[in-house]
């Protein structure tokens, strides 16, 4: 069982969907990643920054999930990163209403001493220089570094992004981002080009259409669970990444065959995330529920054809 | 092993894609369905109509694939149905350039006498009254009737479509058509509404995103094989339907578990169809190639998580 370092935002989100809206609730990439990874009984630490306005209750919540929060810096006279967005009717696109960086603007991540030898590192979506700084602080080369990013950094920090991408083993990215990163429409060709940038493993997230895992000429496809409705997709990609990395950290096995299982765990956890606003569903999720849903994923995808 | 009646167009297609264009080549729903079903060594008959301009070579080709063509009416002084279309760069949408109904305008399908007791019927995309006429001609109720249709009939023959849909066991339809048919965005909800229209099994085809099979509360998801490029999607849906129905006719087992296999066979055959123009790839496809690709589908989708 490997230790896991998670870097990412811990934030306030205010969300509007066709089903309703929220006030400021607990959000942020490191929150979703941490809540997902907490299902694997591993030692995980969140590295982030919040302001003095961040409720102790939220910190307690993370700590009660066995997430080490000693790497979450609290800036007493600062404010916590705040994002607000409104989803369109198809839930596949959204408008950002508010982005207040606040303390995040001066975020210098500090990996806790006892996590600098962690075997697993999950770099949540942040400025690529911040992601790189976490890798710089590791005293031993991690067994597996996983990076998530988004189109924003492709637009405004291309060189920094390329520099950190070439240092990681796995990239998780959505289909449109993969196309933007490579200029290729075909995801198969895009994955090959991303391999050439550095990562040996490429995970392309397709939302309701599932996720693809590429490694050289191998490919694995995990569907998303077909749902009556997606209540709120916020955090689903981060939850996927947390489930993926948490499972690998628990098993310590980074073979392609085991990464298939990791993708299924990521998809399973993400399928819960979208059932309620923000991280609400992930805060209350039991391991029994996870096991039942894994069975649904088996029924959804497994078949019995004898090959001659 | 059950006999299979296939009704659908046998046609000329002229296709333009970003990769090139063709003159008039062999196309039509019954052609694609028949070529796919021919991989299962079953007795299958195509019911269709062509003109005197239809080459004997094409008829020979179908017959050499063990497709009974006695139900293909040849109108000596008529012309064969002709469709021409141009695909856009993303290959997900197309413009129809030419539709000449020709002999198809007066098509009265005639099921061969020795196929009127067939256990399996595949109603390819045609006017719903033509599809219903085939069901009317069956002397014994088929074990399984499968229907494919398209949005055009929803626009101009709604009542007739509803009447034939309620008579079939399985409907195959694409995602946009399922949404139009039901007014529901969620495919899970759409499938439930289609169940209520009659079909106990609903297959929703999502192109590059695979296919979903619904039966009451059960659902199965088959991905499409991730491809470097889709050369020409023409006929892929029909090929899927032919593989699906052909496999069920061969095995005679219409349980949900076996339908999962049928969906995989349909997806496997469709993954070949898109590799060349029109039906060209399907005309030359060997069973060795099919077996190899089934193995790819296994590797693509199967995983080994032990559940507690």
Mutant choice from B305, B306, B308 vs A, greatest count of A C-beta within 10 A = B305
Query: CA B98, B102, B107, B112: dihedral to nearest 10 degrees?
Result: -100
- pLDDT for A308 equals 63
Q: Which two tokens stand for residue B284?
A: 């030359």
> CB–CB of B305 and A257 under 8 A?
no
* A229: closest chain B residue by CA: B186
Confidence of residue B307 (pLDDT cuts 50, 70, 90): confident
Q: What is the pLDDT of residues B125-163, one digit of tens each?
A: 999 999 999 999 999 999 999 999 999 999 999 999 999
Helix (H, G, I), strand (E, B), or coil: what is residue A199? coil
Interatomic CA distance for residues A36 and A241, integer angstroms: 8
Is residue B232 within 8 A of residue B277, CB to CB? The reply is yes
Q: Which of B186, B291, B303 sits opposite A308 (nearest CB)?
A: B291
Q: What is the dihedral of CA B174, A179, A153, A192, to 10 degrees?
A: 130
- Strand-strand pairing, B82-87 and B94-100: antiparallel
pLDDT, tens digit (0-9, with 9 covering 90-100), for B6-57? 999 999 999 999 989 999 999 999 999 999 999 999 999 999 999 999 999 9
Task: State mean pLDDT over B239-243.
Answer: 98
Give chain B's count of helices (H) and strands (E): 11, 14
Angstrom distance (rounded) from CA A42 to CA A251: 10
Give the burial class of A304: count Cβ atoms within 10 A of its Cβ; 0-12 exposed, 13-18 middle, 19 or more buried.
Answer: exposed
Contact check, Cβ <8 Å, A219/B226: yes
Rounded to whole angstroms, how far apart are CA atoms B140 and A59?
A: 69
Option in B209, B257, B307 nearest A295 (CB)? B307
Looking at residue B92, its pLDDT comes to 75
Q: Which residues of chain B neighbour A307 with C-beta distances below 8 Å?
A: 291, 294-295, 298
Cα separation, B225 vs B297, in Å, equals 7
Range 189-218 of B in CB contact (< 8 A) with A: 189, 206, 209-210, 212, 218
Distance CA B34, CA A124 (A): 50
Task: Pick the residue of B208, B301, B304, B308 with the most A CBs within 10 A to test the interface with A by mutation.
Answer: B301
DSSP state of B91: S
Q: Spell out the SS3 assignment of A64-105.
A: HCCEEEEEEEEECCCCCCEEEEEECCCCCCEEEEEEECHHHH
* C-alpha distance from residue A177 to each of A3, A184, A243 (Å): 29, 10, 21
pLDDT < 50 regions, chain A: none
Q: Is B223's CB within 8 Å of A228's CB?
A: no
| % of chain A beyond a pLDDT of 90 | 94
pLDDT in tens, A269-302: 999 999 999 999 999 999 999 999 999 999 999 9
Angle, vertex CA B104, rays to CA B103 and CA B105, nearest 5: 90
Least confident stretch, A91-95, A291-295, B247-251, B299-303: A91-95
ipTM surpasses 0.95: no
Determine contact: A298 vs chain B, CB below 8 A. Answer: yes
Distance CA A191, CA B95 (A): 30
């Amino acid at each position: 069982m490997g230790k896991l370092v998670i870097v990412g935002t811990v934030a306030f989100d205010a969300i509007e969907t066709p089903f309703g809206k929220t006030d400021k609730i607990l959000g942020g990439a490191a929150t979703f990643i941490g809540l997902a990874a907490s299902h694997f009984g591993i030692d995980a630490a969140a590295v982030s920054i919040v302001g003095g306005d961040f409720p102790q209750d939220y910190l307690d919540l993370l700590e009660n999930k066995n997430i080490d929060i000693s790497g979450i810096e609290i800036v007493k006279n600062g404010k916590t990163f705040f994002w607000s967005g409104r989803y369109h009717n198809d839930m596949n696109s959204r408008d950002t209403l508010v982005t207040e960086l606040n303390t995040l603007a001066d975020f210098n991540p500090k990996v806790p001493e006892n996590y600098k030898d962690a075997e697993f590192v999950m770099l949540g979506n942040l400025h690529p220089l911040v992601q790189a700084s976490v890798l710089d602080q590791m005293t031993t080369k991690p067994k597996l570094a996983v990076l998530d990013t988004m189109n924003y950094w492709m637009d405004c920090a291309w060189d920094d992004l390329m520099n950190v991408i070439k240092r990681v083993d796995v990239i998780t990215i959505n289909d449109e981002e993969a196309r933007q990163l490579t200029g290729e429409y075909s995801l198969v060709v895009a994955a090959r080009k991303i391999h050439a940038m550095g990562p040996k493993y490429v995970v392309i997230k397709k939302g309701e259409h599932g996720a693809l895992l590429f490694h050289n000429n191998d490919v694995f496809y995990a569907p998303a669970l077909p749902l009556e409705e997606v209540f709120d997709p916020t955090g689903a990609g981060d939850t996927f990444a947390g489930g993926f990395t948490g499972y690998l950290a628990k098993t310590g096995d980074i073979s392609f065959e085991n990464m298939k299982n990791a993708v299924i765990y990521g998809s399973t956890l993400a399928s819960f995330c979208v059932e309620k606003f923000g991280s609400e569903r992930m805060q209350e999720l039991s391991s029994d529920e996870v096991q039942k849903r894994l069975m649904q994923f088996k029924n959804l995808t497994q078949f019995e054809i004898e090959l001659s």
